[in-house]
Every structure is written in C-alpha cells, then in structure tokens.
Structure 1
Amino acid sequence: MKFLTKLSFNYRWAHVIFFILSILLSVIIVLQSVQIGKVVDAVLYQHKIDFTFVLFTIFIILISRSSVQMGLKVTGNTLSIKVKHQLRAFLSKKKDDAGTVMNNIQQGIEGIHPFFSDYLPQVYRSTFIPCSILVFLCFFHYQTALIMLITAPFIPIFYIIIGINTEKEATRQMLSLNRFSNYFLNVMKGIMTIKTFDYEEKALKQTAQYSERYKEHTMKILKTAFLSTLMLEFISMLSIGIIALEIGLSLLVFHSVSFYTSVVVLMLAPEFYNALKDLGLAFHTGKTAAGYGEILSEQMTESVSQVEYITEDIIRFTNVKTHYDNSEFTLDIPELDLPLDHYTIAGASGSGKSTFAKLLCNRVPFEGQMSLSNKLQNEIVYLSQFDAILSDSVINNITMFNDYDFEQVVALAKKFRLHERFITMSDGYDTIIGPEGEQLSGGEMRRLSLMRVFLYPKKLIILDEPTAMLDKESRDIILSAVEELKSYSYVMMIAHHEATVKQSKQLLYIKNGHVKRVSNEEMRLNNDEMDE
C-alpha cells in the first residue's frame, strides 16, 4: 500500500479534508447517541423535557451526519479521479506490449479506485470514531470502555492476517490477466497464420487455460472476502453481546447504572464496532487495490522514453539504449548527431535497422536522451514493411478515414499505376479489400500504403524496405515516388539492395546494434554483409 499512499499525499488537501470531516463525524455520532438516549429515557420514565427542541436537534444531527459522510465520499472519489488521471498520463507514454499497456490503463488503474474512494476515508473514520467513543465512555461508563479496549484489537489483527493474503492473490490475479491479455492479442494478430497451419484447436485450448487460471485467482479473492466478512461480523456481534450482558446485569441486578446511561452505551457500542468492522472490509478492498498498485508501481519505476525538441535542425542521440520485444538484442547509440537530410539505412538482416526506425518515431522504449528538431514535432511518419490493409473500401484504406479530395486520390492512384486496377474492381474505389475482400498483390499493397504518405505528407518520412520482395516494375514505381518525396520531405529509407545504397549520398550503417554515418567507400568495404 506504500505506493498508493505515496500517490495520495501528492494531494495533501484531500487528507486535510478527511481529517476535519472525520473528527466532525465522530463528535456528531456521540451527540446523536446522547440525544436519542434522552428521548428514550424521557418517554419511558415520563421525564419532562422539551421534545420539540430535542427532536429538532436529532434531525439536525442526522442531516449533518449524512452531509459529512457524503463529503468524505465525494473527497475520496475526487482524489481517485486525480490520481487515476496522473497514472494514465504517465502510462500512456510507456512503450510496452499493447495488451499489458491497455490492461494497466483500464483494469489496473480502475482496480486502485477503491483504495482512494473507500479505504482512505474509512481509515480516518475508523481512527477518530472509536477514539472519540472511548474518550467519552471513559468519563461516562468506564466499564464499557474497558471491555472495548480488550475486545477491539481482535478485529484489526484478524483482518490484517486475511488482508496480507488478499494482496498476494490480487497481484497474482493482475499478472494472470496481463498474460491472458497479451496472449489473446497475439492470437488476434496472428489469426490468419493460426488458420493456415490448422492451429485453432491448440489456440482455443490455451485461451481456455488462461481464462480458467484468471477465474481461479478471482474466486480465491472472493472466497477470502466472504471469510473475512463472516469473521468480522462474528467478532463484532460477540463483543456487542458482552457489552449488552454487562449493561443488563448492571441495570437489572446490581442497579449500578441508570436507564439513560444504558441506552447511550448500547447506542454507542454498535457505532464503535461498526467503525472497526468497516475498516476491516475496507482493508480487504484496499489490499486488493494494493495488488493492482504493485503492478502499476513496477511500471512507474521503469524508465520512460525521453524525447526533447530543440531549435537545431538535427536529430541527436545521447547515451541511447533500447531493448525491443523482450529480446536480448540491444541498440546502443552513445553519441550521434544527424543533420536533417535524406538518409539510406543499411546493414545486415537483424542488425537493428527496423528498431532504429521505430526509435526515431518513439515507438520503442529506450534509455537515454533523444533530441529532435522542432520541425519534426508531430511530423514523423513511419511506413513499415507490413503496413496494415484494412477489411474496408479502397478509398478508406488510402485515406484512413481522413478528409480527402477525390480528384487528388485518383491522380495519386494514376501515378502509382493503381487507378486502372481500382476501377476494374466490382465497386471501383468503394470495393472492399483486405482479408475479407478482394485481394491485392504484394506490390499493389505496398504502393497503396505509400499513397497514404503522399496524400498526407510529413516533414520526416521513414520507409522500412519499401521495395523488398517486389517485382522490378513495382520497385521502379516506388523508387521514382521516393525521389519525388525528397523534394518536400526528409526521407530515411531502409535498403537491402546494393544498387539503392550506391545511389545514396548520406548513409547510416548499423552493425551489431551500433549506428554510424559512413561514406559510400566505407559501405563498399562492408558489402559482403548486404543482402543482394
């Protein structure tokens, strides 16, 4: 709980409000019991009192009690909203598995809500209400105060023992859900591969196992919750029974207390134990939230990718290291300044070219500092080797649902020699393509993806092997388009073909995770590592 408590103290005003309202509530509860005791005693023993004034006082006390409790609840919810917003703002910058990130932002952050909305207000209530009642009873009827002091510790001792187990189970549940989320997302991404290799049965079995594991962890938490509630109710009932027995004997047998005293004590006893019991239930909820908080704490302590925007027209790397896809591969860039220009990125397969491209877009987590020119703020686009083709119309695949000029789209399609292909389809530009529609060749898909870049150009365009595995016609069309792009955008292109590398003026060579600028002459010395 230390992590969540520390977060709450970023908003000290909430703790001040909790403190003031809880003291006020404890005083109101004592006054309520005293006033009700006066009314009951007067009714049974026909004492003369101003009933109008006393009943009006009780009414005001009840309204005040409800208002204070509402104030505690509203303060707790407001604090929760503030903390959750802070965490979401932080986690949205994290570069991690998509399933883990989404699960943490949704399930994880919502899982800590009860800590701030229920547990923290209850801690203050359960601290001041019992203390106020004990102080009052020490002067009003010390025998009851003594019984409370002896029996009260059993409640917190019991819920602490159960709460520790609850936190462990909540952590296991969160980890189980993270694994389930990642596996399910990977299955969805690779659904076509699963169907191709007849892997459906095994994938379904594995999904069912993850689901069953998550269900088991959830049921263990519920089992603990029911057990905790049962035992807390039993201890509270037993303690109140002991006090009632002592009051009954004192009133009827020993005649050592008045009826008024008995009523006030019996009114305060449930308030005392309910405050402790409610803390026990809130403690269980708080420990569950702490389990989620432990996972979020690990995310918070991990380094966040630092990108700085500067006035110089360069891209600067300072002690940058990145691990990608949980592999052992490391891209290491101690010091590197790249003036804004057109670059060809070369290197052997697996050397880190694609990772470097994604690093420029801040798509992978890294340590160190990357500084980008102000011109590149929100002005970088990355076209991967396997850019997505949606199961949607041709026009929506090109425009990605943005505003567009149809004549401009047609002109681009003609430039990429796709217009004739599109208009011969069943519904022209409204024809559904992709996995559930008409199929395009590899070259056609690559050209369509490049059309998006032309339609909505950015200052820096990064192309990941745009000509890989294409026929000569498609390759020539794309290379011609790239040359045109260079007239109004900075282009970085990952290339495997030696001919493409030889035509480049600026070269970045990546070998074993190290990046350096080289000349064509130096590149020729490494041409044995290039893929023909």
Structure 2
Amino acid sequence: MKRLTNLAIKYKIYPACMFVISILLAITVVVQNISIAEVLNAVLLDTKEDLWTLLLFILVVLLARATFNTLNQMIGNRMSTKVKQHLRRQLILKQSKEPIGVQMNTLTENIDGIVPFFNSYLPQVFKSMMIPVFIIIAMCFIHLNTALIMIVTAPFIPLFYIIFGLKTRDESKDKMTYLNEFSQQFLNKVKGLITLKLFNRTEQTERALYEESTTFRDLTMRILKSAFLSGLMLEFISMLGIGLVALEAGLGLILFDSIDFKTAAIAIILAPEFYNAIKDLGQSFHTGKQSEGSSDVVFELLDSQEEVDKRVPNFNSQQNALIKVKQVSYKYDSAPFNALSEINLDIHKGEQIALIGESGAGKSTLAQLIVQRYIPNSGTVTYNQPNLSIGFLSQSPYIFNASIRDNITMFQSIDEVEVLKVLEAVGMKDKVLSLKHGLDTWIGEGGEMLSGGQMRRIELSRVLVAQPDVLVFDEPATGLDVQTENIIQDVISQQFNSTTILIIAHRAHTIKNANRRVYLENGQLKSLDQLAINENIKGGEVT
C-alpha cells in the first residue's frame, strides 16, 4: 500500500485536485440535504418561504454535486492511466529471468488489477474523509446528540472493512501468483501441442488444464465470498447507525419535544449520507486491497529485474572499419562459461560476411553484440559513423496486429508505389492485391492468416523499404520451402549487392555469395580463409 501511495504522490497534482473537489463535494452534500429539509418543513408547516426558489436552488446544488462527483472520478481515471503507462514502461525497459508467460500476464492482468486503487479507492478515500467530517461539523451546530451518535458508531465500519480487507489482500496475491504460474503452464502446453498429440498426451493435458483452471476459479470465489461477507457487515452497521439517529430524532421531536421538525429532518436526511460515505469507503477498501495483492506481484517482478542499458551506440570516427569488434567477451547471467571470448573482427563497408559454426558456437550472440542489442562484459563494439542504420531479418519474424501496409512501412508514411515495388521484389504483390482490402488487409491476431514463408517475406519487405546501412540475416532460410528460400536469396543478391551484410547460416549454398567467411567454435573466432572451406562442407551443411 505504501508503494501504491508513493506512485500516487508521484502524480501529486491529481491527489491535490481530488482533495479540493472532495471539499466542494462535501459542502454541496450538506447544503443539498439542509435545503431538502427546508422544503419539507415549508410544505408540511405551510411557512411563507418561496418554494420555487428553494427548489431551483436544490436543482443547482444537485447539478454541482453531480459535476464534482464526475470530476473526482475523471481525475482518478486519468491518474490510473498514467500509472499503468509508467509501470508497463518500467517492465518493458527491464530485463527479467522470469518466463515469458509470467511477464506477459504481469504486463496485462496484474497491472490492470492495480488500476482500481487509483480510479476507485483513492477518489472514494477523499470523498469519505471530507463528507463525514463536514456532516459532523454541521450537526454539531444543528443537533449535537446526532453528531455524538455518528462519532461513536462510525469507527465500527472501518474496523470491519480493515479486517476483511487484509484477508482480501492476501487472497488476491495468492490468486495473481497462481495466475502467473497458470499462464506459463498454459503457454508451455500450447507451444508443445503437436508433441503432446504425437505422444497421445492430449487427454491428460486437458484434465490437467481443467484442474488448474478450477483452482483459479476457487481462488476467485474465495475473494468474492470475502467481498459479500464484508458488504453484509457494512450494511448491517450502517443500518444500525441510521436507526439510532432516527430513533433519537423521533424521540426528541415527538416524546420530549426538544427539537423542531426541521432539525429532525436534517438529522434523518444527513444520517444516510454520513454512513453511506463511510460504507462506500469500506467497499472501495476491499477493492484497494485486491489492488495491493496485484501490486505485490508487479513490484516483486520489478525488484527482481535489471534495467536495460540504454546507452547510445559507441562511435569512433577515426577507425577505418565500418564496425570494429575489439577483444569482446560476453557471458549470459545463467551460464557458467563465456558465450564468446576475446573476439576481434573488422567489418568494412560493402562486405558480405558469412558467420558459420555449430549450434551453440555463439553466432547469434555475436550478431546481437554487433548491432549493440547486447552489451559486452569486456571489450568494445564501435561504429565509424554516428547514425548507422541496421536491419535485422530474424528466424521468427514479428508481425504486428495491423495492416500489411503498416507492417511493411512500420507505421510511417511511405508512397504506395514504393510499397508495391518491394512486395513485387519478394513475390508477394499478387497475393496481397488478391486480398479483399489489398495493402490495408489486417494481419496478425484476428486478421488474415499468413504462412511462415509469407511472414518472412513481409519482414524482408520491411527491410527493403528501410534500406539500412548494415543488414543482419539470422538463418534466413531456416524452415522455408525451396521457392521462398530462392526468393530470399535472389533479393539478397540483387537488392543488397552493395550493402554491408552479416549472414548467419548452416547451409553452404546460403553463404555462397559471401566474400568472407568467419568460423566460430566454442565462442572462439577463426577465419575460414585458413581452413579450406571446401573440405568442411558435408552434404550441403557447413561443419
């Protein structure tokens, strides 16, 4: 709760506005109910007061109350949006060792679970502080006995909702922790669906998923049970307090004749406002504790992560090589040994370098270091120009849930003729134009389905449009049919013949156009110029 409050203080303008608006709201509540009592008194006792003026005044006050209430909620919504953006940015900009399923669930469900603290609980806290305080102050001048009853009975309401709220917090944390685990288990089973079918394990997997989802349902029902029980107790105490106020006002008016009708009406009308404000805080407190349970999961993940080094690429205008790798070593956090050790490599403008070696030799790691996505543990990677643009064609292309046009242009404004030109180069123009909406066809989740080869060609179109200074192809032919592989090879040779290229590949014909071949073995770099490449090719595979 302390960290959530600190987040709210970070955007202190919003709590300050809530405080001011809640004061104005409390004043309108008191004025509104006193005015209603004035109208009742004028009607029943046939006083000479102008009813139409009173009614018009009440209408104005009601509108003011609704306006202040809406503004208070809008401020809470705005602050919750800011907090969500802040937390998601922090999670995205940090590296985590947690499984991807846990990270994705934290980014979505858990952060969404924090939102009620800011758009429901905090606005209600300010309202529930101001309204009861102003009602008690007003009743001290109007009818002291009613104010005393309110002061004595009011503490029982927060006492009960604190007890139930603490229980809800713990149960909510258990639910969110289990949801993270369940998300990762579900993701793993989906990834291994084909394997499970081959080994006839689908029925057992279905039963296991059903049992896991049932456990999550039971955890959710425990929270709902606490919420219903909490609501019952709050209603009981509120009704008891209102009843005591009504009894005291009725006895004073009828039996003891110690107060007039107007005073009794004010007491009876303001009592529900007083108790409802505190009761609403109780319900919001329950919501706040649920948010606290979600926040524990989010903050635990944030605290366990390391922030990404966002330093700008190293630049050395004095070097001759376009990219210079000097004495670079790199070790993954969880690995006992270096993935790469003391790598030295100069890449000159226009060179096409094939990076080859057995699986696990460190080829992809070296590529990530060259494009400076990874930071070496020792040594340096430097460019000879400050704004070197780099394109990357991966084994698993990422397709955005957007149109084909946006996926190729990366949401930039690029002439349609240019987009169609690159689609023609990769052999996708006819396919795209045959779709109902052409370039504006939605692909990705919920859109037009593309094959793996088509997605790879969409990513290649993206690189063609960008025309980067350096291109990195990570296993460009992996998992592709012969036709798609030939298209990609032709595009590389025709469209990027003067571009600096780094190709990571196993197949010999994939790297046949390279003018320099570099061999990696156990994280050590060797030049194939010294090893007679023809003697190291067996069955089309570079060994």
What's the TM-score once normalised by structure 2's chain length?
A: 0.73
Q: Is the 8 A contact 1:309 1:371 kept in 2?
A: no
- Greater alpha carbon shift after TM alignment, 148-157 vs 492-501: 492-501
The code of the aligned residue for 1:272 comes to F
- In 2, Cα distance between the equivalents of 1:160 and 1:366? 51
Out of 171, 177, 180, the position equivalent to 1:178 is 180
Residues 303 and 173 (structure 1), Cα distance of their counterparts in 2 relative to 1, 3 Å cut? same
Residue 42 (structure 1) aligns with: 42
- In 2, Cα distance between the equivalents of 1:453 and 1:57? 65
Say if 2:169 is the partner of 1:159. Answer: no
User: Cα deviation per residue 1:403-449 (whole Å; 9 max; x = unaligned)?
Assistant: 44565346x9xxxxxxxxx9xxxxxxxxxxxxxxxxx9x9x999989
- Greater alpha carbon shift after TM alignment, 360-369 vs 185-194: 360-369
- Greater alpha carbon shift after TM alignment, 328-337 vs 253-262: 328-337
Residue 383 (structure 1) aligns with: 394
Residues 247 and 381 (structure 1), Cα distance of their counterparts in 2 relative to 1, 3 Å cut? same
Say if 2:319 is the partner of 1:309. Answer: no
Q: Root-mean-square deviation (CA), in Å?
A: 4.8
- In 2, Cα distance between the equivalents of 1:480 and 1:35? 84
Say if 2:27 is the partner of 1:27. Answer: yes
Residue 445 (structure 2) aligns with: none
- In 2, Cα distance between the equivalents of 1:367 and 1:230? 60
Residues 281 and 146 (structure 1), Cα distance of their counterparts in 2 relative to 1, 3 Å cut? same
SS at match of 1:306: coil
SS at match of 1:108: helix
Residue 8 (structure 1) aligns with: 8
Say if 2:308 is the partner of 1:298. Answer: no
SS at match of 2:312: strand
SS at match of 2:306: coil
How far apart are 1:125 and its partner, in Å? 0.4
How far apart are 1:343 and its partner, in Å? 5.5
Residues 243 and 328 (structure 1), Cα distance of their counterparts in 2 relative to 1, 3 Å cut? farther
What's the TM-score once normalised by structure 1's chain length?
A: 0.74
Q: Is the 8 A contact 1:232 1:280 kept in 2?
A: yes
How far apart are 1:110 and its partner, in Å? 2.5
- In 1, Cα distance between the equivalents of 2:160 and 2:275? 14
How far apart are 1:80 and its partner, in Å? 1.9
The code of the aligned residue for 1:80 comes to S
Out of 196, 199, 215, the position equivalent to 2:198 is 196
Say if 2:119 is the partner of 1:109. Answer: no
Out of 404, 425, 442, the position equivalent to 1:408 is 425
Q: Is the 8 A contact 2:426 2:457 kept in 1?
A: no
- In 2, Cα distance between the equivalents of 1:403 and 1:382? 20
Unaligned runs of 5+ in 1: 390-396, 413-421, 423-439
How far apart are 1:321 and its partner, in Å? 5.8
Residues 17 and 209 (structure 1), Cα distance of their counterparts in 2 relative to 1, 3 Å cut? same
Residues 285 and 398 (structure 1), Cα distance of their counterparts in 2 relative to 1, 3 Å cut? closer
Q: Is the 8 A contact 1:309 1:374 kept in 2?
A: no
Q: After the TM superposition, which residues 343-422 of structure 1 pair with which residues of structure 2 at under 5 Å, given as runs?
A: 345=355, 349-350=359-360, 352-357=362-367, 374-377=386-389, 379-384=390-395, 403-404=420-421, 408-409=425-426
How far apart are 1:126 and its partner, in Å? 0.6
Q: Is the 8 A contact 2:469 2:500 kept in 1?
A: yes
Residue 438 (structure 2) aligns with: none
- In 2, Cα distance between the equivalents of 1:29 and 1:307? 52
Residues 516 and 298 (structure 1), Cα distance of their counterparts in 2 relative to 1, 3 Å cut? farther
User: Cα deviation per residue 1:273-324 (whole Å; 9 max; x = unaligned)?
Assistant: 111100011111112122222222234442232243345454789997644x
Residue 394 (structure 1) aligns with: none
- In 2, Cα distance between the equivalents of 1:80 and 1:367? 39
Q: Is the 8 A contact 2:393 2:463 kept in 1?
A: no
Residues 147 and 531 (structure 1), Cα distance of their counterparts in 2 relative to 1, 3 Å cut? farther
How far apart are 1:331 and its partner, in Å? 5.8
Q: Is the 8 A contact 1:303 1:367 kept in 2?
A: no
Residue 241 (structure 1) aligns with: 243
Say if 2:229 is the partner of 1:218. Answer: no
- In 2, Cα distance between the equivalents of 1:200 and 1:115? 41
How far apart are 1:230 and its partner, in Å? 0.9
Q: Is the 8 A contact 2:518 2:528 kept in 1?
A: yes
The code of the aligned residue for 1:306 comes to D
Residues 478 and 27 (structure 1), Cα distance of their counterparts in 2 relative to 1, 3 Å cut? closer
Residue 68 (structure 2) aligns with: 68
Residues 406 and 349 (structure 1), Cα distance of their counterparts in 2 relative to 1, 3 Å cut? closer
How far apart are 1:205 and its partner, in Å? 2.1
- In 2, Cα distance between the equivalents of 1:230 and 1:199? 47
- In 2, Cα distance between the equivalents of 1:164 and 1:131? 25
How far apart are 1:109 and its partner, in Å? 2.9
Q: Is the 8 A contact 1:344 1:506 kept in 2?
A: yes
- In 1, Cα distance between the equivalents of 2:199 and 2:312? 47
How far apart are 1:31 and its partner, in Å? 1.2
Residue 57 (structure 2) aligns with: 57
SS at match of 2:10: coil
Residues 497 and 486 (structure 1), Cα distance of their counterparts in 2 relative to 1, 3 Å cut? same
The code of the aligned residue for 1:296 comes to V
Residues 69 and 446 (structure 1), Cα distance of their counterparts in 2 relative to 1, 3 Å cut? closer
- In 2, Cα distance between the equivalents of 1:6 and 1:143? 39
Say if 2:111 is the partner of 1:79. Answer: no
- Greater alpha carbon shift after TM alignment, 143-152 vs 232-241: 143-152
- In 1, Cα distance between the equivalents of 2:114 and 2:375? 25
Residues 147 and 287 (structure 1), Cα distance of their counterparts in 2 relative to 1, 3 Å cut? same
SS at match of 1:309: coil
Out of 274, 279, 282, the position equivalent to 1:280 is 282
SS at match of 1:462: strand
Residues 308 and 149 (structure 1), Cα distance of their counterparts in 2 relative to 1, 3 Å cut? same
How far apart are 1:66 and its partner, in Å? 0.8
- In 2, Cα distance between the equivalents of 1:376 and 1:112? 41
How far apart are 1:519 and its partner, in Å? 6.2
Residues 245 and 380 (structure 1), Cα distance of their counterparts in 2 relative to 1, 3 Å cut? same
Q: Is the 8 A contact 2:397 2:459 kept in 1?
A: no
Say if 2:472 is the partner of 1:462. Answer: yes
- In 1, Cα distance between the equivalents of 2:60 and 2:269? 18
The code of the aligned residue for 2:202 comes to E
The code of the aligned residue for 2:107 comes to I
Percent identity (aligned): 36
Q: Is the 8 A contact 1:305 1:367 kept in 2?
A: no
Q: Is the 8 A contact 1:307 1:370 kept in 2?
A: no
- In 2, Cα distance between the equivalents of 1:222 and 1:103? 21
Residue 488 (structure 1) aligns with: 498
Count of matched residue positions in the alignment of Structure 1 and Structure 2:
484
The code of the aligned residue for 1:380 comes to G
- In 1, Cα distance between the equivalents of 2:455 and 2:256? 96
Out of 129, 132, 147, the position equivalent to 1:130 is 132
- In 1, Cα distance between the equivalents of 2:269 and 2:381? 66
